[in-house]
């Protein structure tokens, strides 16, 4: 992980495999250049599933 001037970043840590959690995965995401919302481009469109799709998750047992 590194510091970058004028960037907003977050690095959550997730664990894998599910239920065992023996490995750690840092996932870094950034919003681009830091600044007030009005100074930046709007965020890209993200599908929220409200169009009738479904998200199903589970182990099958």
On whether residue 20 sits in a domain, the answer given is yes
Tell me which residue range forms the domain holding 15.
Answer: 7-32
Beta-carbon contacts of 24 under 8 Å, excluding residues fewer than 6 positions away, are 13, 14, 15
On whether residue 21 sits in a domain, the answer given is yes
Question: Dihedrals φ, ψ of 29, to 5°?
Answer: -135, 150
Q: Which residue has the higher pLDDT, 47 or 18?
A: 18
On whether residue 13 sits in a domain, the answer given is yes
Tell if the pTM clears 0.85, that is, is over it.
no
Q: In the predicted model, is pLDDT for residue 4 greater than 80?
A: no
Question: Do 23 and 15 contact (CB within 8 A), yes or no?
Answer: yes
Domain count of the fold of the chain: 1
Per-residue confidence (pLDDT) for residue 55, from 0 to 100: 54
On whether residue 2 sits in a domain, the answer given is no
Name the pLDDT band for 10 (thresholds 50, 70, 90).
confident
On whether residue 41 sits in a domain, the answer given is no
Per-residue confidence (pLDDT) for residue 18, from 0 to 100: 79
On whether residue 61 sits in a domain, the answer given is no
Q: In the predicted model, is pLDDT for residue 44 greater than 70?
A: no
């Amino acid at each position: 992980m590194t510091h970058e001037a004028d960037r907003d970043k977050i690095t959550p840590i997730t664990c894998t495999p599910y239920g065992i959690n023996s490995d750690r995965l840092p996932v870094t995401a950034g919003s681009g250049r830091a600044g007030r919302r009005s100074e930046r481009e709007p965020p890209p469109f993200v599908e929220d599933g409200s169009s009738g799709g479904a998200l199903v998750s589970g182990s099958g047992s």
